[in-house]
Amino acid sequence: MICIVKQYVFYNYQMPASPYFLLYLIEKRLNYSKYKGEVKIYINIPDLLIFQFPFLLILIVCLKLFAKKNMAYIAFSSLFFIYSLYVLKFTLLPIPIREYLEVVRNGTILQLNYKPLWLSETFLFPLKEQILNICLFVPLGYLSNYLFNLTLKRVVLLGLFGSLSIELTQLLLSISMRYPYRVVDINDVIFNFTGTLIGYFVYRAFSRMYIASVNKLNVKLGPVGQFIYDRGK
């Protein structure tokens, strides 16, 4: 489940005992710190740029020196790497620490929804959440074709594997922490998979238009343009 985040602060807020409110706080991606015996809660979106830069640099060096890839392939690989990090950020992070769990744990271990296309009354912003779940996986169906030149069948398997892996990880983390820090939802798999298919068909449509335009106008392509042209065939 994607967490929808707003930039505002609750200072010195005493958390009520309602499990739905606690689930609300979890779903709003809260970080917290103790302050004068109370719980100070704030919503934060950490910047991944500093974290991802050294790993991105390692990826570029490995692709250039060892895999002997051209710069166009490296550029799309870098975009895919950054995209993957943000998928992890919005689907798995932050993971609550033990002190936080001791405050909010209420005896519930799992929050599951196994009913396809069913929305609970307690879900927040259901329409927006499902749209975000679709949009989150559109780049997967699009960018992966420039790296692996996938068929539709392989894109389908990739979308299912990616979404199921995220939900399974959320399930295992909830069990290990004995608290449902995320809702494991079959709808997430459905909408993530839908986003992957949309991304693939956008890629195919763009490739056809791009190749037709290049052939019709007889355009001389640079390295990146030629890479896009060759992958789209």
Q: What is the pLDDT of residue 6?
A: 36
Q: What is the pLDDT of residue 179?
A: 74
Cβ-based neighbour number of residue 102 at 10 Å: 10
Distance, in Å, from the CA atom of 142 to the CA atom of 126, rounded to the nearest integer, reads 25
Q: What are phi and psi of 105, to 5 degrees?
A: -60, 130
Q: What is the pLDDT of residue 123?
A: 53
Whole-prediction pTM? 0.75
Q: What is the pLDDT of residue 10?
A: 33
Distance, in Å, from the CA atom of 14 to the CA atom of 22, rounded to the nearest integer, reads 12
> For residue 27, which of 132, 181, 147, 144 has the smallest C-alpha distance?
181
**Per-residue DSSP letters for 90-140?**
HHT-SPPPHHHHHHH--S----EE-STT---TT-SSHHHHHHHHHHHHHHH
Q: What is the pLDDT of residue 75?
A: 95
Q: What is the pLDDT of residue 112?
A: 79
Residue count of the chain: 233
Distance, in Å, from the CA atom of 111 to the CA atom of 118, rounded to the nearest integer, reads 14
Low-confidence ranges of the chain (pLDDT < 70): 1-51, 96-110, 118-126
**Residue 193, C-beta contacts closer than 8 angstroms, at least 6 positions apart:** 137, 156, 159, 160, 163
Distance, in Å, from the CA atom of 25 to the CA atom of 21, rounded to the nearest integer, reads 6
Q: Omega before 54 cis (within 30°)?
A: no
pLDDT digits (tens, 9 = 90+) for 9-41: 333 333 333 343 444 444 444 444 433 333 333
Q: What is the pLDDT of residue 15?
A: 37
Q: How far is CA 52 from CA 44, 94, 135, 202, in A?
A: 18, 16, 22, 28
Chain-centroid distance, C-alpha 224: 26
